[in-house]
A and B are shown apart, each in its own frame.
Chain A
Amino acid sequence: MFDSFYFCHSILANSERACENAVCRPLVFTWRSHYNQRQTQRANLPDSQRPKLLFMQKTKPIITAADLIFRYPSSEFKLDIPKLEVAAGAQCVITGPSGCGKTTLLRLLSGIERSQTGEITIKGQQLSELSNMAIRDLRNREFGFIFQDFRLVEYLSLRDNILLGVTLGSVGDRAPAIARLDELADRVGISHLLHRRVIKLSRGEMQRVAVCRALIHNPAVIFADEPTANLDRKNSDLIWELINSEARSNNATVLAVTHDTDSINRFDQVLEFESLMKTVAS
């Protein structure tokens, strides 16, 4: 079973070698021990509950990043990722403590932010070669994004929120999305709320709407940024279950970030953020 995680192990090993400063080492070791503990738990799971990982070894990566360096203009924070690959169809989670840069990495990979150096390739397209408009178009057609703070438009109904990206995007035909809306809403249990405005929803319901919006156009890649932050365990499980099952049924790739270590069992591929980083500046 552990063979399937050769990629993550190698990154961890590289990371440890590279991380020679005293500040980051305890952090990496902490996460390393936690990671090992999780892998042991995975190994002890019955076959039916174990994530299906074997296909990953033979699948071509859908997202690759190399020599990625990013700095915010007025911050000392520096993101430095030498290499990252996510296999097509994989359900991958990046874990790490809050504020370490997971969200920034996700924004870089989804083309929301542009790195100063390095290269990101998604579905064979190098983001650096694409214009802003083309990246926006790619994001609209191929990506589904679940934000930590939901990012729902308050004055719109749930229905309009879920269809917002389709309505104002470059997706040609809205009909498939509209046809899928009821089914999706039914699955997440918000079909009776579709004409209600966002402002009247609970946080759990809001996140379910955000998930529906990310999935409505059958994206190839689902980016989920701490989608269960601030949710209770029950809602958190529901959201992860929804994302995992939808991604599997549509053969979509999931790249999620979370600091919720209890949920990483659900993923095929677990990447520790510190292990991805060449150095940790802050």
Chain B
Amino acid sequence: MIHPAAIIRLAWAYLASHRKQSAAILIAISLAVSLPIVTSNIISQYLQTLHTRSGNPPVMLSPRGSRFDTVLKVQYFLGEPLPSLQWQDATHILANKSLRCIPVHLLHTANDQATPVIGTVRDYFTVRGLNVQSGHLFAQAGECVVGALVDVSDDVIQTDISNPFDLSATPPLSLIVVGRLQPSGTPDDRAVFLSLDTAWILDGYGHGHDSTDQGTAAANSSVLAEATDGHRPNKSIRTIDETNRHKIHFHGDRNLYPISAILIWPNEQRDQVVLEGKYINHKSLQILRPHVEIDTIMRYVFQMNTILQRIFLLLGGVTLLLITVIIFQSLNVRKHDLETMRLLGCSRFQVFKLLGTELFLLLAGSVLLTVVVTTTLIATLPSLESLI
């Protein structure tokens, strides 16, 4: 006669009375299963993200340096700031009618460096296929458009201070959010976009003065009073709006202003070949094919994924072995109890069923915990991905 409820009750009593051991087994099993799943998921999402932009644009112009770092920074906004090229390097290419060129400026961040701030032109949204969900694209200095996943409070987003130890550095600017983009499933969802002029204001090439601030005793006695470049940044303009926009002006040669890279869409293959030929021996600039670099990165990632999966398989095997040892040890410890059951004439089948039920409950608990752990980890994937 089978008494499932009674057997489950007995099995549960054993697990409950050994809750620490049971919890250890549950956690070991669920981690051994969920970690490979989560890792595989992260890597596949990473590869998918890499793949979506691997051929778009077909080529890009950047200062000479690490090809991987450049592609990762320009295409996915990942990694440290790149060396810059000058605006005059762009003007030659921008004048070429057979190329569609989009300059990008990637030197600033917001939200404690969590959000990249991208200076670019409005065509960027066209070539990337990005649409505005609410509001409109930036039109004037001090305005910005945010990606779908960027946190914004009071329609303002504050940029990070570029160097906290440089007293003469440009103070952070509060950007007015005039639009939000639709989700695109790309790194653009987590970025803030503004005009190149606004980006150069963040660099310190442009700024505004309040006339009352000039020549005052307070200004003259400040540590910046001895600045020799003829002008001082004015902390009173933290937000560029209608009241102070007319006061913004730029200094220096605009041709020397920095940008990070130029995204290039040649009209024809021939144009691309000509462009690559032109820069093949250039001393300070390089032409990159993002898909070539990304394919290389993807190969590395695939290899790493394979290695990780093998390691996880090994760890899973070790975990399984340890759990088997624990179960056999537990049976050994319970020898007296099992002997008692035998002495009471308990059916061997029922005793096996009791042990099987205990194992089943453990496995069911592990599956439940695995689902919870896996779901939780995958839900926090964006932050994990940003770690990569």
Residues of A within 8 A of B (CB): 112, 133, 136-141, 143, 145, 147, 151-157, 160, 163-165, 167-174, 197, 213
A152: chain B residues at CB < 8 Å are 340
| B9 proximal to A (CB < 8 A) | yes
In the complex formed, the residue of B with least CB distance to A151 is B340
Q: Are B337 and A170 in contact (CB under 8 A)?
A: no
Q: Are A170 and B1 in contact (CB under 8 A)?
A: yes
Q: What's the nearest-Cβ distance from chain B to residue A125, in Å?
A: 14
Our pick among B1, B6, B14, B17 for the contact of A172 (Cβ within 8 Å) is B1
- Pick the interface stretch among B134-142, B306-314, B343-351: B343-351
Q: Are A139 and B17 in contact (CB under 8 A)?
A: no
A153: chain B residues at CB < 8 Å are 337, 340
Our pick among A147, A154, A167 for the contact of B6 (Cβ within 8 Å) is A167
Our pick among A140, A172, A174, A197 for the contact of B344 (Cβ within 8 Å) is A140
CA A167 to CA B336, docked complex, whole Å: 18
Q: Which of B168-185 contact A (CB under 8 A)?
A: none
Q: Are A151 and B18 in contact (CB under 8 A)?
A: no
Contacts A160-B9, A173-B1, A174-B3; A168 near B341 (Cβ below 8 A)? yes
Q: Are A155 and B13 in contact (CB under 8 A)?
A: yes
Q: Which of A141, A155, A171: most chain B Cβ within 10 A? A: A155
| B247 proximal to A (CB < 8 A) | no
Q: Which of B9, B337, B343, B344: most chain A Cβ within 10 A? A: B344
A143: chain B residues at CB < 8 Å are 345
Q: Which of B341-377 contact A (CB under 8 A)?
A: 341-348, 350-351, 354
B337: chain A residues at CB < 8 Å are 153-154
Q: What's the nearest-Cβ distance from chain B to residue A197, in Å?
A: 7
CA A143 to CA B343, docked complex, whole Å: 10
CA A213 to CA B9, docked complex, whole Å: 18
Contacts A153-B337, A155-B14; A168 near B343 (Cβ below 8 A)? no
| B23 proximal to A (CB < 8 A) | no
B344: chain A residues at CB < 8 Å are 139-140, 145, 164-165, 168-169, 213
CA A160 to CA B12, docked complex, whole Å: 12
Contacts A140-B346, A169-B350, A172-B1; A164 near B341 (Cβ below 8 A)? yes
A172: chain B residues at CB < 8 Å are 1
In the complex formed, the residue of B with least CB distance to A153 is B337
CA A164 to CA B11, docked complex, whole Å: 12
B342: chain A residues at CB < 8 Å are 136
A171: chain B residues at CB < 8 Å are 1
Q: Are A170 and B347 in contact (CB under 8 A)?
A: yes
- 6 of the cross-chain contacts (CB-CB < 8 Å) are A139-B344, A140-B346, A153-B337, A168-B341, A170-B1, A213-B344
In the complex formed, the residue of A with least CB distance to B10 is A160
Contacts A155-B18, A167-B6; A145 near B13 (Cβ below 8 A)? no
CA A174 to CA B1, docked complex, whole Å: 9
Q: Are B6 and A174 in contact (CB under 8 A)?
A: yes
| B292 proximal to A (CB < 8 A) | no
| B275 proximal to A (CB < 8 A) | no
| B301 proximal to A (CB < 8 A) | no
Our pick among A138, A139, A168, A173 for the contact of B350 (Cβ within 8 Å) is A168
A170: chain B residues at CB < 8 Å are 1, 345, 347
CA A151 to CA B338, docked complex, whole Å: 10
Q: Are B13 and A156 in contact (CB under 8 A)?
A: yes
Q: Which of B9, B13, B18, B340: most chain A Cβ within 10 A? A: B340
Q: Are A168 and B351 in contact (CB under 8 A)?
A: yes
Q: What's the nearest-Cβ distance from chain B to residue A117, in Å?
A: 23
CA A140 to CA B350, docked complex, whole Å: 13
A156: chain B residues at CB < 8 Å are 10, 13
CA A173 to CA B2, docked complex, whole Å: 9
Contacts A155-B17, A155-B18; A165 near B9 (Cβ below 8 A)? no
CA A64 to CA B340, docked complex, whole Å: 25
Contacts A163-B6, A168-B350, A170-B1; A137 near B340 (Cβ below 8 A)? no
B347: chain A residues at CB < 8 Å are 133, 136-137, 140, 168-170
Q: Are A167 and B7 in contact (CB under 8 A)?
A: yes
A155: chain B residues at CB < 8 Å are 13-14, 17-18
Q: Are B13 and A137 in contact (CB under 8 A)?
A: no
Q: Are A147 and B343 in contact (CB under 8 A)?
A: yes
A112: chain B residues at CB < 8 Å are 343
Contacts A171-B1, A174-B6; A197 near B17 (Cβ below 8 A)? yes
Q: Are A136 and B6 in contact (CB under 8 A)?
A: no
B348: chain A residues at CB < 8 Å are 133, 136
Our pick among B13, B340, B351 for the contact of A160 (Cβ within 8 Å) is B13
CA A133 to CA B345, docked complex, whole Å: 9
| The 10 A-B residue pairs with the shortest CB-CB distance in the complex, in nearest-first order | A140-B345, A139-B345, A155-B17, A168-B346, A165-B344, A168-B350, A151-B340, A167-B6, A172-B1, A136-B345
